[in-house]
Amino acid sequence: MSILGLSFTLLFVMITMLVSVWQKLGLERDIAIGTIRSAIQLLLVGYVLQFIFNTSNPWFIALILLLMIGVAAYHAGKRGKGLRGIVWKIAIAIATTELLMMGLLLGFRIIEATPQYIIPISGMTIGNAMVVSGLLLNQMRREVGSSKGEIETLLSLGATARQAIQDVMKRSVKSSMIPTIDGMKTVGLVQLPGMMTGMIIAGADPIEAVRYQILIVFAFASSAAVTSIILSLLSYREWFTKDLRLLSIEPERKG
């Protein structure tokens, strides 16, 4: 796509702006910020990727992956406000998932060990792990709030933190995985996944694109499971105080 062609995409922004002004949605400012940020972020990423693909230095790859994990952990950490060291715990959960995924993909030579494969696939795995972490923490918060009586009943019978929160954990892990699994069932039918669409537009053979998409879908499912279970195990104790009383959970905030 030429630069001129890219500039014309601003037409879409103008349509959005017009709708906002016309319907008095008051979103003009947010649309402007969103437009500028997405353009700059994506262009920057493009240049960074180009640079890394050219150098192929493994340290750079590692650095990029760490950065992705850091940003993802920070972002998902907002869902776990009030829990001690939650950002670190998310980072560990996501990093473990990423290591496992890459270990399998590279170990069985499913993908080539080049940045062209490693970085985009890692990006998607980490992104999905981030979403799953956020879902898990949100769900835990909701469940701990609504199952306070159940948890405290178990505590009053002398249960450990793990015993008292076991059921809540199980339900939260399950519900954090549901969107990913539902996604598996409808993928390709309701909408073509972004990666596949991109590959096809960029000129790849649709069958080849589909193969990679299948890989991503399967990898997502297992990374959702692994992330969710690791994070729940790392973080369950943080819903209690040191002397094993249930934290008083503030009501969930929007956004």
Partner 1 sequence: MKPVLELQQVKKNRTGADTRPLFMDVSAQITEPSMIALLGVSGQGKSTLLRMLAALDRIDEGSVRLHDVPQSEMDPKAWRMKVCYVAQQPVMLQGSVEQNLRAVSFLHRIPYEDKLVKQLLPRLGLEHLELGKNAELLSGGEKQRISLLRSLLLRPEVLLLDEVTASLDRGSKELVEQVLQEWHTAEGTTMIWVTHDLEQARQISGQVWFMGEGTLLENSATTTFFDSPATETARNYMQGPASKEQPCLS
| Binding-site ranges for partner 1 (CB under 8 A) | 149-150, 152-160, 163, 167, 241, 243-245
CB of 241 to partner 1, least distance (A): 8
- With respect to partner 1, which residue has the nearer C-beta, 7 or 248? 248
Rg of the chain over all Cα atoms, to the nearest angstrom: 21
Q: How far apart are CA 4 and CA 22, in angstroms?
A: 28
- With respect to partner 1, which residue has the nearer C-beta, 85 or 167? 167
Q: How far apart are CA 88 and CA 197, in angstroms?
A: 34
- With respect to partner 1, which residue has the nearer C-beta, 33 or 244? 244
In sign, the C-alpha dihedral spanning 227, 228, 229, 232 is positive
CB of 168 to partner 1, least distance (A): 10
The two three-digit tokens of residue 150, written as one number: 């159940």
DSSP 160-197: -HHHHHHHHHHHHHHHHHHHHHHHHHHTTTSS--HHHH
- With respect to partner 1, which residue has the nearer C-beta, 168 or 216? 168
Q: How far apart are CA 221 and CA 183, in angstroms?
A: 9
- With respect to partner 1, which residue has the nearer C-beta, 152 or 238? 152
Q: Is 172 within 8 Å of 165 (Cβ atoms)? A: no
CB of 254 to partner 1, least distance (A): 22
CB of 171 to partner 1, least distance (A): 10
CB of 144 to partner 1, least distance (A): 14
